[in-house]
Amino acid sequence: MLRSFSILAVAIVSVPPLFAQDLPIGLAPHELPLIREYRDTRAGQARGITTPPAFPVRTMAEWEEVQSVVITWASYTGILKQIVRAAKEECEVIIVCQDPSEVTSVLLNGSYGGPLSDLDGITFLEADYNSIWVRDFGPETIYANEVDSLFLLDWIYNRPRPEDDALSDALGTAKGIEVFSTSQAPYDLVHTGGNFMSDGFGTAFSSELVLEENGPIGEFNQTSRDEAGVDQMMQQFMGIVPGRYVKMQQLLYDNINHIDMHMKLIDEETLLVGEFPLGQSDGPRIEANLQGIINDVPSVFGDPYRVVRVPMPPSTSGGLPPNASYRTYANNVFINGTVLVPTYRTEYDTTGLRILREALPGYNVVGIDCDEQAQNIISASGAIHCITKCIGVPDPLLIRHQRLADTYNTVDPYPVEAYIRHKSGIASAQVYWTIDTLLGYSPVPMTATEGDVWTAALPAQPAGSVVYYYIEATANAGKVQVRPLVAPQGWWRFNVLDLNTSVGPIASTVVVDVFPNPTSSLVMVTLDGPGAHTAEVDLVDVLGRSVKVLHRGPVHADRRVFADLSSVPSGSYLVIVKSQGARAVRPLVKN
C-alpha cells in the first residue's frame, strides 16, 4: 500500500471544464468537422519513440501486478471518488486534474460514502485532458523481453481530442517511463483500450473496429493497413503473436464496438462473457463470436477457453439494447487484489457479483453504482473499466500456470507445472496445498527444468477431496510473488472424484442451486452432473401448471441458466429440470 500524497504539474494549459466533462465516450456531433485537422496535426507531432522496439516485447495482462491506476477528473465525480477510495488501498492513484484543491474538497466531503480518511497513496497530476474515458486514450503497459524494462505504448486515439491523445506522454514524463508511440507513418496505428484485451502471453482480442479504423475508410490514420498490416504492427509494438490476434464481428447495439462492454479475460484461460436472453439484443452475435473462439482459438495452454457467463441486466423498464443502455458486469477492472465492478439494480447485482466472487476467489470484489440518477455513466456507453487505466510494476515476477482439472486419480501424485520468470532470475518456487483452507497450507518445493518451467507434484488424495493450492516464487533479487495474486485468500482448486458415484445412468443431473431465492426478477439455476449438458428448465406453480419456460437446449460450460421472472406474479413455484431422462426439482419464491 502506498503512503504518499503528491502533486505533479505537467504542461498546464487551461481546458474549459464543461468541455472536459461533457464529451461522450463516442464522437460528439460537434467533433466530426474536427477530425481532419486533428489527424493532420497529430501526424506532425513526434511524441515518444515512434519506431518499433528493437527487442521482443510483451503486453501486460490486466490481472498482473500494477503500480498505479490513472483516472481523469472530469464528469461523474461521485463514481471517481468511489474508485479512488477502493484503489488507493492497493496502489498509487494518479488523478489527472486541473485543480487539485477542487478534487480534494470532493474527496474529503461527505458525499458518496463519506469523506476519505486521508489522501495517502494519491498523486495529483496537473495536465491537460478532454474527457473521462482514459481507458481508451491512456497508455498500455509493455515489457522488454517479457520481464525486463517497463515501457508505455500509446496508440492514436480515435477521437479528435488532442489533450486526451497526449496524456500518455504526460504520464510517461511524470513516472519516468519511456513511451513508444504509433503516431508517425509508416508506424501509425489507431486503437482504443476499451477494444483490446491481452492474456499477457501474445494473445489479444478486439472487435473488427480495429480493422475498419486502420483500413481505407479510417478517418484518423495516415497509413491504410489490411489485417496483415495491423497484425504486423501489433506484433512489433506489443508482442502479439501472428495468428493469435482475434478480431470478432462488431455488435449491433453497443454503439462504440468496444469488447469491454460485454467480455473480459480474467486469467490466461478464462473468459467472462455477458449473456442476453436467448435471441435478444446482441445475444446472437455474442454467441456466434464466442463459439468461434471456442472452436478456433485455444488458450495459450492449447485447450479451449473456460467460459464464465454473467447476465446483462435490463433497464428498470425491462428494456435491452438498442432500446436501453448497455448494462454490463464485464466492464470491471483489476487493481491488484481488488476488482471494481459496475452495478445497476440490486435484484441483478446480487447475482452478477456472486458470479464474479466465485470466479475470482479471494479478490475484494467491490460494486460501484453506475446507474444512479446523478451518476448514470452507463447511459453514456461506459462504466468502470472505461474510466480507469493501470500501469504495471517495473519488475514483474511472472507466473503462468494452467490450473489442474478434476480427476479420478486417487493413487498417483498430481503434477504441477508453471512458467516463472523475473529479470534477476528465480531463486526458488513452491506449491502450497491443502484440503482444508482453515487448517493452513503445506509447501512442496518446485524444481527448475528447461525453459523457465518449474515443476512439482502434490500427493494423491482420497475420492471426495477438494484440493486447494497456489504457487509462490522468490526472485534472486528477493522479490516474492504468488499466483493467484491474492493467495492464500485466493487459490486454484480441483476435485478428486469418486468413480463409484459416476456409475449408472448418464443423466444424473441435479440442481445445485437456485439463486437468489426468494427473487424479484433474475434467477440463476446452477446444474451439475454428467447429464448437465443439455436441459429443459421450467417454472411451474404448486399445482404443476407451467408458468414460464426458463431454458431449452445446450447448457453453457459453467452450467448456469439465467431467467428473468419480473413478469411472473408473486408466489411459490417449483423449478423443474429435465436432462437425458433425469428430473430434479427445487422450490422458488417470487416476491
* pLDDT given at position 278: 87
CA distance 532 to 550: 15
Q: Residue 4: what are its φ and ψ, rounded to 5°?
A: -145, 155
Question: To which H or E segment does residue 43 belong?
Answer: helix 35-43
Q: What pLDDT does residue 303 have?
A: 94
User: What pLDDT is recorded for position 6?
Assistant: 63
For 398-500, CATH gives: 2.60.40.10
- For position 535, what pLDDT does the model report? 85
Local structure of 105: helix, strand or coil? helix
Please give the model's pTM, rounded to 2 decimal places.
Answer: 0.92
Domain ranges of the chain: 5-392, 398-500, 505-590
Contact 351, 516 (CB under 8 A): yes
Q: How far is CA 140 from CA 60, 182, 188, 193, in A?
A: 8, 12, 16, 8
Tell me yes or no: is domain 505-590 CATH 3.10.150.10: no
H or E element that contains 95 = strand 92-97
**pLDDT on residue 11:** 40
Task: Give, as one character, the DSSP assignment of residue 60.
Answer: P
> pLDDT tens string for the chain (591 positions)?
333 456 665 443 333 333 444 699 999 999 999 999 999 888 777 789 999 999 999 999 999 999 999 999 999 999 999 999 999 999 999 999 999 999 999 999 999 999 999 999 999 999 999 999 999 999 999 999 999 999 999 999 999 999 999 999 999 999 999 999 999 999 999 999 999 999 999 999 999 999 999 999 999 988 999 999 999 999 999 999 999 999 999 999 999 999 999 999 999 999 999 999 989 999 999 999 999 999 999 999 999 999 999 999 999 888 999 999 999 999 999 999 999 999 999 999 999 999 999 999 999 999 999 999 889 999 999 999 999 999 999 999 999 999 999 999 999 999 999 999 999 999 999 999 999 999 999 999 999 999 999 999 999 999 999 999 999 999 999 999 999 999 999 999 999 998 776 433 334 556 778 999 999 999 999 987 655 678 889 999 888 889 999 998 888 888 899 999 999 999 999 999 888 777 888 899 999
pLDDT of residue 579: 80
Give the Cα separation of 589 and 221 in Å (integer).
56
d(CA 365, CA 341): 7
pLDDT at position 506 is 38
Q: What sign has the CA pseudo-torsion 462, 466, 468, 469?
A: positive
Which residue type is seen at 115? P
Dihedral sign, Cα of residue 317, residue 320, residue 324, residue 326: positive
SS3 letters for 374-416?
HHCHHHHCCCCHHHCEEEECCCCCEEECCCCCCECCCCCCEEE
Cell of 533: 449438458
Separation between Cα atoms, residue 470 and residue 432, nearest integer Å: 5
Class assignment of domain 5-392?
A: alpha beta
Q: What is the pLDDT of residue 513?
A: 87
- What pLDDT was estimated at residue 59? 98
Domains 398-500 and 505-590 share a fold: yes
Amino acid at 535: A
